[in-house]
Structure 1
Amino acid sequence: MSETAKRLAELGIVLPKAAAPVANYVPYVRTGGMAPGALPQLWVSGQLPLGPDGKLDERHRGKLGPDSPIDPAREAAERCAINLIAQAHAALGDLDKVVRVVRLGGFFNVASSFEALPQAMNGASDMMVNVFGDRGRHARTTVGVAHLPLNALAEVEAVFEISF
């Protein structure tokens, strides 16, 4: 069992089956390093906060507003991160091939304003660090948007540096 698989088990996380694309895109792309001598990368398409059953829980649906509680948004971002890890596992077969989580991009479904976007995105960031340790520390972007697929609260994408 890989070290990352052991860590997932310690955290009580069971990875779901990687979600299939719902439109004309692929769930991930493996590419060579962007600079000479750089390691290859895995770019994972945005993942929604689908549960283990492949469905979107009502708690993770709708728009965030000024008075919205942070917990559902944070949980949605965490669920997105679990789904990103499931896609990485599907692509690599062994999560120990993740050298580093390079970047996360978080999108939140916002009606007007929601000041706690950074704290909500910590759900995804914390999950990456909890699973990958220092390899999970990353750059990130967090933005509020007018609409997300399935009226989800969040969508998160990732770039991983990987080994061969």
Structure 2
Amino acid sequence: MVIGSNAPTTCAEQRLKDLGITLPSPPTPFGAYVEAVKIGNLLFLSGMLPVIDRKPQFLGRVGGELSVEDGRKAAEIAGLSALSAIKQHLGTLDKVTGVAKLGVYIATAGDFRDHPKVADGASELLAKVFGTGMLSGRIVLGMASLPLGVPVEIELILEVAG
């Protein structure tokens, strides 16, 4: 798919309202980095965690202490944090013209195999907000651990206008 070739017919900000989604406060770094960097027409987001107001919403490993559904919800919350970071950086989600790549990193028990089901929590949120025409390439990886003990971390590369 060519980035931005299937731009949504309804704006992302209006979709948020229609879906009744309220974004959390924009995330703040837990270290020496920034949440978003724009280079040319690309916006790179740092790893987004399922954290609201600097408090992890889930702790543990998927397939261990947490279920697949817990992991999906954690991925969705990380996605909401990403949307909040995008809006803070660009001023509006309507400047997003393409989702180039989504990375989903999942802290899992050693024998866990349902990574795609967990990652869909983030992918489905992005599809609802930006439209299914903006589904992206994706990488999903299992990890031994993630920052703060959270089960999911996502990263995004977006094409943006202006």
> What TM-score does the superposition give when structure 1 sets the normalisation length?
0.87
SS at match of 2:62: coil
Tell me how many residue pairs correspond in the alignment. 153
- 2:13 alignment counterpart: 5
CA, structure 1 residues 67+90, in 2 after alignment: closer, same or farther (shift >3 Å)? closer
Q: Is the 8 A contact 1:99 1:135 kept in 2?
A: no
Q: Is the 8 A contact 1:41 1:162 kept in 2?
A: yes
- Range moving further from structure 2, 65-74 or 9-18: 65-74
What is the CA-CA distance between 1:17 and the residue it aligns to? 1.5
Q: Percent identity?
A: 34
Unaligned runs of 5+ in 1: 33-39
Counterparts of 1:1-150 in structure 2 under 5 Å?
3-32=11-40, 40-51=41-52, 53-57=53-57, 60-65=58-63, 69-150=67-148
Deviations 1:60-93 (A, max 9, x none): 2101237952100000111111111111101100
Rounded Cα–Cα distance in structure 2 between residues aligned with 1:104 and 1:115: 19
- Range moving further from structure 2, 127-136 or 138-147: 127-136
> What TM-score does the superposition give when structure 2 sets the normalisation length?
0.88
Deviations 1:76-133 (A, max 9, x none): 1111111111111011001111001111100011131211100110000000000000
- 2:7 alignment counterpart: none
Q: Is the 8 A contact 2:48 2:78 kept in 1?
A: yes
What is the CA-CA distance between 1:135 and the residue it aligns to? 4.8
Q: Is the 8 A contact 2:11 2:130 kept in 1?
A: no
Rounded Cα–Cα distance in structure 1 between residues aligned with 2:63 and 2:124: 23
Rounded Cα–Cα distance in structure 2 between residues aligned with 1:17 and 1:103: 23
What is the CA-CA distance between 1:134 and the residue it aligns to? 3.5
What is the alpha-carbon root mean square deviation over aligned residues?
Answer: 1.6
Rounded Cα–Cα distance in structure 1 between residues aligned with 2:105 and 2:35: 17
Rounded Cα–Cα distance in structure 2 between residues aligned with 1:61 and 1:149: 10
Rounded Cα–Cα distance in structure 2 between residues aligned with 1:119 and 1:84: 19
